[in-house]
Amino acid sequence: MTQSKTDPRILRTRKLIMDAFIELSGKKEFKEITVKDITTEATVNRATFYYHFEDIYDLLEKVLSEVLMINLSGDNFEDTDLNEETLIRIFTAITNFQISLSNRCHRGYEDTIARIIREQLEVIFYKLLVKQKGTKETQALKMTAIILSWGMYGASVEWRRNGKEVSPEEYIKSAIPYLLSGVI
């Protein structure tokens, strides 16, 4: 009998492995965490780990993607337009995501975190642009989504570097009129 990956037992085991990884990443740097550490913490065997994940890098990527999606899905962007409120909500979600990681994540995560954030933002921006502009110029909309995703990510990095002196909302608000006059 084959089980699908949506079987509740499979999902519980996957979550157990991911939670074990998150727990360990609070204690050790990523490069020091082994599959054995994770399987011991999760009380599963090595084969079970490899059933769910290709390797530790695949696990890292899936954990980060799911945590980011939880942050972003708190706001359903499918039912909204690309406007000031949406840009503020997206920026706040990604800065909150990065704040939540800063206590757990150490050196070596930055490139993976950056790529995951940009990829997720690109998907969101593309859907919003297609909803608002239609599907006539898909290449131009894809490029616009890429530019917006990199820009939002870059702004969140700058916000963190500048000591977070103002809230994410205040930080991004000053740029929004310029963004909207060129984007929408």
Mean pLDDT in order along the chain per 10 residues (184 residues): 69 91 81 92 95 92 80 66 86 82 60 85 89 85 93 90 84 85 63
157: CB partners within 8 A, 6+ apart: 114
CB 103 within 8 A of CB 168: no
Of 80, 85, 87, which Cα lies nearest the Cα of 156? 87
Tell me how far apart the terminal alpha carbons of the chain are, to the nearest angstrom.
53
Rounded Cα distance between 157 and 168, Å, is 11
Give the model's pLDDT for residue 97. 80
4 exposure class (CB count in 10 Å sphere: 0-12, 13-18, 19+): exposed
Spell out the domain ranges in the chain: 8-53, 60-183
Rounded Cα distance between 107 and 29, Å, is 7
CATH of domain 8-53: 1.10.10
57 exposure class (CB count in 10 Å sphere: 0-12, 13-18, 19+): exposed
CB 35 within 8 A of CB 26: no
Note if the pTM is more than 0.85.
no
